[in-house]
Amino acid sequence: MKQSFYHYTSIDTLEKILNSKSLCFTNLDLVDDLDEVETSDIKKFGRFCYVSCWTKEETESIPMWKMYTPDMQGVRIKMNEFPFKKHIIHPGQFANNKQIETYINAIERDEKGLPYILNTYPQMLEVDYTEREELLYPKIKTENKNYKKETVFENGKSKEVITTNTTISYDTRYIGLFKRKCWEFQKEWRYKIILSPYTYKELANCKRPEDQMKLMQRLEDEKYKPTEERIFIELADDSISEMEILIGPRATDEQINRVINLAIQNGICVENIKKSELRIR
């Protein structure tokens, strides 16, 4: 059984969602919690993480209305879990030898020369609230040194030589997963994607491991900024038609009519539109 999630936003943003048939994922450098972009070892590593923020709480939240809708005159949209449009990558595309289902339009991004998204689908996570610094600011980078012993011959004599190969990995599992307990009222769930610091063409042109590592070093370059502050992930047609909309408690008649018209224009039943039950001055 599919779960439902709720998102508080403005009527203007609702219109953008319906017109573009997509959800906006925001760079962690731009979210309201300034801690989220930081890690313990790489400054502002979270700028490569993009999220779309939701909650599972069916009961209306006055703080959420106040924080995320203008004067409580916005909307709360309800959508089923994982509402995204499916795309197919065929054998031969992106050096794949088999067909891959993905919810990221990788072909369009490649044609536009946009950086490669590491996920094949947005990951849904429940935010964990904590005061543990090692979780709020996770360690991202790991260096592994591999030693190899070889016998070489020089001037007719053999000798043993030890060579060192260092590999670097970046663990993004805990980025965007933890927030301080003061944010616990949000009861937040979020979709998350990770942006690479290179395009697919740049990666394909790497002939040596060293070339690829140079691209990866952009992750640690404070001067390097991702080309996009926001990324838009397409929605499936049925997820839009099945959307439910709750109109804010202070919405005017004009705003209510605007929401109804937007819904009808996008195939959403009028029965799926309701007015908040909150009575608030």
Average pLDDT on 55-82 reads: 96
Model confidence pTM above 0.85: yes
Query: Residue 45: how many CA atoms within 13 Å on its side-chain side?
Result: 22
pLDDT at 280: 87
Task: Return the closest-CA partner of residue 46 out of 188, 142, 176.
Answer: 176
Residues 175 and 219: beta-carbon distance below 8 Å: no
- 158 or 176, which is more confident? 176
Question: Using CA atoms, how far apart are residues 37 and 215, in angstroms rounded to an integer?
Answer: 21
Task: Return the closest-CA partner of residue 8 out of 46, 65, 51, 52.
Answer: 65
pLDDT at 72: 97
Residue 76 has pLDDT above 80, yes or no: yes
- Residue 144 banded pLDDT, cuts 50, 70, 90: confident
Task: Return the closest-CA partner of residue 112 out of 227, 30, 234.
Answer: 227
Residues 31 and 51: beta-carbon distance below 8 Å: yes
- 138 or 147, which is more confident? 138
Average pLDDT on 99-116 reads: 91
Residue 276 has pLDDT above 80, yes or no: yes
Residues 190 and 129: beta-carbon distance below 8 Å: no
- Residue 1 banded pLDDT, cuts 50, 70, 90: low
Phi, psi of 43 (to 5 degrees): -65, 130
Task: Please state, rounded to an integer, the average pLDDT across all residues of the chain.
Answer: 91
